[in-house]
Chains A and B, each alone.
Chain A
């Protein structure tokens, strides 16, 4: 289960605040995954006191609203990433960025599909630059794209381009993941699925033996 409480002293109308919060949740908490289990209790509550003295924001289409939205996105993304970073048994955070989609929502769906893939997560834990599993998880996201446009990078290593697997330094790619695991850092996966304007990001973590151990012992 994830829980969140967010507070601000900005002044904003109820309708605008409720829309802003949903947009931020979609760009943050709804884009993380550890084990694919959606809890019965997930909740984010956001409260705005208005005590900063700003003018009341009553429309989404103003620069003040846009700025507050960016601040809210930043706080929620920072918290959401820390949840994925702290995934049960995790040794590293996995950040999956997708570009070239038709729109933000489709890119986000592909990104989360890859971040949720147990086989991709296990490969990261095994420090295996397994581009095939990443391509597979992108392919079953439910978003149509031309596989001959698929491009996949792991950190700075290009693994696939134009839908064609490339020769790459597998030792360097593996060491990139090993270093991230040793420092509880971040493994970055960059994917492009076409030429569209849509981009999105999702966060997950690698799948280790400890995840099973922790959850085999934790019982209802």
Chain B
């Protein structure tokens, strides 16, 4: 796991994260810094060129309270429609599966069916309900995801899950498209006398003018 995760974060450098001042300190890692979270990133054969990781997974050991904000673009991609439905039907989630390479947008009913098949396959592997699996996609608009390659990669992706910093870093690399750097950060603070951690990862470099709700 460490060798694969280590390799993933070698592909592109990490962005400098400009955090605002406040009652927190930055700590290593990203989405895996908070207790209960694991992550992984790997090359699943989805990208058109090169072998940079293109498949990421973030999981929580327990039912996590879930929230989401999604594009108000009316030509919303299949994973956006799927996640809005999932969040409306369940207050919690356990996993986020993310692919780069194809956006699964403007792909019609077939694209939506692809999302369902991917979430069902992962839910079965993790012994979860479908609506506990959320999905994000990014890449070329109009192209359906390379579903066979994605489905065939899931068992290995699950086996790579790790609560380490490397796990978070490899997931942050795997979600990138034209990004020149990966984006990942975590902070630690105290709320009500108890230490908490907040971490995250993001991607984005072009087609950027978010309007999310």
Contacts and interface: CB of A to CB of B under 8 A. Distances in A.
Contacts of B34: 7-9, 49, 51-52
Interface stretch (B2-10, B59-67, B148-156): B59-67
Contacts of B17: 78-79, 81-82
B71 A53 contact: no
A82 B18 contact: yes
A129 interface: no
Contacts of A80: 202
A122 interface: no
Contact of B105 (A40, A48, A71, A81): A40
Interface in B11-44: 15-20, 22-24, 31-37
B69 A47 contact: no
A29 B178 CA distance: 18
Given A6-B199, A40-B106, A71-B189, A32 B210 contact: yes
A43 B137 CA distance: 9
Most chain A CB atoms below 10 A, which of B104, B181, B209? B209
B83 A45 contact: yes
Interface stretch (A11-19, A143-151, A153-161, A166-174): A11-19
B205 interface: yes
Interface residues of A, number: 77
A2 interface: yes
B206 interface: yes
A63 to B, nearest CB: 8
B58 A7 contact: yes
Contact of A2 (B36, B92, B208): B208
A6 B168 CA distance: 11
Interface stretch (A99-107, A133-141, A212-220): A212-220
A interface SS class:
mixed
Contacts of B75: 40
Contacts of B208: 1-2, 32-35, 37, 39, 83-84, 87
Interface in B136-194: 136-143, 171, 175, 177-181, 183-187, 189-192, 194
B108 interface: no
Given A9-B36, A72-B198, A30 B65 contact: no
Interface in A46-63: 46-55, 57
B122 interface: no
Contact of B31 (A5, A13, A36, A85): A5
B83 A43 contact: yes
B73 A38 contact: yes
B201 A79 contact: yes
Contacts, number: 314
Nearest to B91: A14
A21 B80 CA distance: 17
A91 to B, nearest CB: 12
A55 B136 contact: no
A166 B23 CA distance: 39
Most chain A CB atoms below 10 A, which of B19, B22, B65, B180? B65
Contact of B202 (A21, A79, A87, A93): A79
Contacts of B213: 22
B200 A76 contact: yes
B68 interface: yes
A79 B204 CA distance: 10
Contact of A214 (B183, B204, B206): B206
B206 A7 contact: no
A10 interface: yes
B79 interface: yes
B191 A67 contact: yes
A1 B37 contact: no
19 contacts: A1-B139, A5-B201, A6-B31, A7-B60, A10-B191, A20-B67, A21-B67, A32-B210, A33-B208, A41-B103, A44-B212, A48-B65, A76-B200, A77-B20, A82-B183, A88-B205, A214-B178, A218-B206, A219-B140
**Closest 6 A-B residue pairs measured CB to CB?**
A2-B204, A49-B36, A34-B208, A47-B64, A40-B105, A6-B200
